[in-house]
Amino acid sequence: MVLALPIAAHAQDAGAQPPVKSTLKPNPEFAKLPQYVGTLGKRQIVMRLGAKAGDDDPTGVHGEYQFTDTGEVILIAGDRADATLEAEDSNDGTHITGNWVGTFAEDGSLSGDRMDPDDSHPVPFDLKPLAAGAAAPAVSTGAASASASTSNGAHAVNGVSNLILGQ
């Protein structure tokens, strides 16, 4: 297991407690990690995932992902062996809420399935690396956002003025 969990934490994995909605905030340390953008199921996410600094295990990776529609932040940690990623996620930093199994392609993209802790209910993910200097998709803060159109068809949302809706 990658996330260190107390024994009692496994009670949630057995269905004893309903999952807790994430109250995590983006970690400024993870902002330095490589970013990936794409989808988890039908929802758009931004993932920041990179090697664990100072870790004795050279395959260890960690980071977070964020749903762009709600702003919800989920932690992720695991191992990358060659082109294979095996990781676990947590919406509270303690309980495992899912397992990720994926493959990195030669172009840096990452795809696979995210499953419940018991490896049921696979949901496909498809992520592309964000080019250096490129802006990640806007993430909702959960508040209603004003939208205004510009003459080139772009929309201003929460102060971001280069969004093209429907992409």
User: How does pLDDT run across 81-134, given as a tens digit for each residue?
Assistant: 999 999 999 999 999 999 999 999 999 999 999 999 999 999 999 999 987 767
Which of 162 and 84 is assigned the larger pLDDT?
A: 84
What is the model's pTM? 0.70
Q: What does residue 135 show for φ and ψ, rounded to 5 degrees?
A: -85, 135
Nearest-angstrom CA–CA distance, 3 and 97: 11
- Identify the architecture of domain 7-136 in CATH: Beta Barrel (2.40)
CA nearest neighbour of 101 among 82, 124, 121: 124
Question: For residues 49 and 61, is the Cβ–Cβ distance under 8 A?
Answer: yes
